[in-house]
Each structure stands twice: as C-alpha cells, then as structure tokens.
C-alpha cells in the first residue's frame, strides 16, 4: 500500500486535517505540493516537515478563490514536478448562518473555493494522469451532507457538488486508470470546533452518534487517504468513504 514517489497535490494542506496528513505522506516517501492561502500556517507546516526524511514538501501559497491565478500557479508547479499523480481536493470554507441571511454571492464564494478550485485542480492534473494511465482523485466531503447540521447551506451544497463530481469523474476517467473517490470525515476536534459554545456537550453529542467511542484523530483521515491514493485501492471508484467512527452507515 505504497504512495512512495507519488506527486500529491493537497489543497488546504496547512489546515487541521491537512497538516497531519501531509506529514504522513512525507514520511511515506511522497512529494506533496501543499497549497494554502495562509502564509503563517504554511510556514508552520514547513517547520513541522523539517527533518522528515524520504518525502519532499513543496508549498504553494495561493488563494483558491482566484481560480485563474490558482490555475497558473498550479500548472507551473505541476510541470516542475513532472505532473501530479494524486489530487486531494480538501480546502474548504464553512460560514455558518441561517439560510435566509446568505446572499447568492455568499453561496458562490463557497462554491468557488470548495468546488470550482477542485475542478481547476483536476483540469491541470488530468493530462498527465491520462498519459500515464494512472491517477487518484480524492474529494473531501463531509458528514454534514447527510443532514444533522443547520445553518451551513452553502457548505453542505458544496459537499453535495463534490459527491456528484466524484461519481461523474469516476465514470468518465475510469478507462484511463484514474479512480475518483470522496472521503467524508465525521466530526474531528480541529480548530473549527473550538468556536462551539459548549465543547463538552458537543463531544457527548458526537460520541453518542459514533459507534466507536473515541474522538476521531487526524491520523484516521491520513491513513484512509493513503489507502485511497495507493495501488491497493485501484478497484474502488465513485465511492464515498465515511471516516466517522461508524456514525453514517450506508
Ligand atoms: N474537521 C472536521 O471535523 C471536518 C468534518 C467534516 C469535513 N471536513 C472537511 O475536511 C476538510 C479539511 O477540514 P479542516 O478541519 O482541516 O479545515 P481547516 O479550516 O483547518 O483547513 C482548511 C484549509 O483550507 C485553507 N483555505 C481556506 N480557504 C482557502 C482559499 N481560498 N485558498 C487557499 N486555501 C484556503 C485554510 O487556510 C485551511 O488551512 C474540509 O474539506 C472540510 O470541509 C472536516
């Protein structure tokens, strides 16, 4: 189950789930092109990666909402690396307020970062993947897509779009040796959760819903991503893998 030597694009790589997964891939000998718009968090990622032997970290500071700027920066980096083998569309924004308070522009801003930037990433990566007859695309979905959380309508819609694209791309790219899957995290205790007014109550709520009675760890996401990116997952495509401690069951 090796990802050694693979070139992995990871958007939002400096975030709560992205940073530990990026370190996991580096330890496994992959090259990670880590994209994020937050210079401070990218610097923290570089510092954390310092000293890891085997893999290689390349950072690209880019604002994904500038789709054409992202396309140009990514194309340049991808060419320098000799192409991308794995694309992980992970970056996301998640504003929260009642539906009526969102403007159309609010919706479009979330779609641009959470979905459209992923389309750009796949458009840049696809020629190499097709030429080599091997590729892995992993879209990060969310447990919120299954219902249960209010006030997140643009975010939930964006995750639905990613699940739809996962199926459409899986069908379209499969003949070229490219698999496309979504990974749906459950509720992980990252920074986004710290704004919760009742952290202990929220943890109780999460554990009540999970089958596995511990909180998720970013390492759980990293392990599942590494599997989906490997040869071992070559016969799995168009699926949503729920990494949520046995919360959602399909
Ligand atoms: N943490 C959870 O419990 C949880 C649950 C369900 C789904 N998810 C999904 O997992 C993924 C990672 O979540 P996370 O918890 O690491 O979130 P996070 O907010 O910690 O990380 C997201 C990263 O994306 C970057 N980003 C945001 N907007 C950007 C832009 N315009 N340009 C470039 N970079 C941008 C941020 O700087 C950040 O580093 C997301 O897709 C999220 O929807 C997370």
- CA quadruple 81, 83, 88, 89: dihedral positive or negative? positive
CA of 40 to the centre of ligand 1 (A): 15
Question: Could you give the CA distance from residue 194 to residue 191 in angstroms, rounded to a whole number?
Answer: 5
Domain ranges in the chain are: 7-243
Nearest residue by C-alpha to atom 6 in ligand 1: 142
CA of 135 to the centre of ligand 1 (A): 23
Check: pTM over 0.95? Answer yes or no. Answer: yes
pLDDT tens, position by position, 49-75: 999 999 999 999 999 999 999 999 999
User: Looking at the predicted structure, is the pLDDT value of residue 174 above 90?
Assistant: yes
Nearest residue by C-alpha to atom 42 in ligand 1: 92
Nearest residue by C-alpha to atom 34 in ligand 1: 36
Q: pLDDT class for 6, splitting at 50, 70, 90?
A: very high
What is the average pLDDT score of the chain?
97
pLDDT at residue 1 in the model: 59
pLDDT at residue 192 in the model: 76
3-state DSSP helix/strand/coil % of the chain, to nearest 5: 50, 15, 35
User: Looking at the predicted structure, is the pLDDT value of residue 229 above 70?
Assistant: yes
User: Looking at the predicted structure, is the pLDDT value of residue 234 above 90?
Assistant: yes
Architecture in CATH of 7-243:
3-Layer(aba) Sandwich (3.40)
Residue 10 annotated as catalytic: no
Name every residue whose Cβ is closer than 8 Å to that of residue 234 and which is 6 or more positions away in sequence. Answer: 179
Structure tokens at 47: 């510092």
pLDDT at residue 138 in the model: 99
Question: Could you give the CA distance from residue 34 to residue 11 in angstroms, rounded to a whole number?
Answer: 6
pLDDT tens, position by position, 108-140: 999 999 999 999 999 999 999 999 999 999 999
Question: Could you give the CA distance from residue 43 to residue 50 in angstroms, rounded to a whole number?
Answer: 11
Residue list, ligand 1 pocket, CB within 6 Å: 12, 14-18, 36-38, 41, 63-65, 90-93, 113, 140, 142-143, 185, 187-188, 190-192
CA of 63 to the centre of ligand 1 (A): 13
Phi and psi for 32 in degrees, rounded to 5?
-115, 120
Phi and psi for 77 in degrees, rounded to 5?
-65, -40
Question: Could you give the CA distance from residue 29 to residue 152 in angstroms, rounded to a whole number?
Answer: 37
CB atoms within 10 A of CB 237: 20
């Amino acid at each position: 189950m090796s990802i050694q030597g693979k070139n992995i694009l990871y958007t939002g790589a400096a975030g709560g789930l992205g940073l530990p997964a990026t370190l996991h891939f580096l330890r496994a000998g992959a090259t990670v092109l880590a994209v994020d718009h937050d210079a401070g968090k990218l610097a923290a990622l570089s510092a954390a990666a310092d000293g890891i032997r085997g893999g290689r970290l390349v950072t690209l500071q880019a604002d994904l909402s500038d789709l054409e700027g992202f396309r140009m920066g990514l194309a340049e980096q991808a060419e320098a690396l000799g192409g991308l083998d794995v694309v992980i569309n992970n970056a996301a924004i998640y504003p929260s307020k009642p539906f009526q308070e969102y403007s159309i522009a609010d919706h479009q801003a979330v779609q641009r970062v959470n979905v459209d930037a992923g389309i750009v990433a796949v458009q840049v990566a696809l020629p190499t993947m097709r030429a080599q007859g091997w590729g892995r695309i992993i879209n990060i979905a969310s447990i919120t897509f299954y219902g249960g959380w209010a006030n997140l309508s643009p975010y939930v819609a964006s995750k639905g779009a990613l699940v739809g694209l996962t199926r459409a791309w899986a069908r379209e790219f499969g003949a070229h040796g490219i698999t496309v899957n979504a990974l749906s995290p459950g509720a992980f205790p990252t920074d986004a959760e710290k704004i919760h007014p009742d952290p202990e109550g929220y943890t109780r709520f999460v554990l009540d819903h999970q089958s596995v009675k511990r909180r998720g760890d970013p390492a759980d996401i990293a392990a599942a991503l590494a599997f989906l990116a490997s040869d071992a997952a070559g016969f799995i495509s168009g699926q949503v893998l729920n990494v949520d401690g046995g919360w959602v069951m399909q």
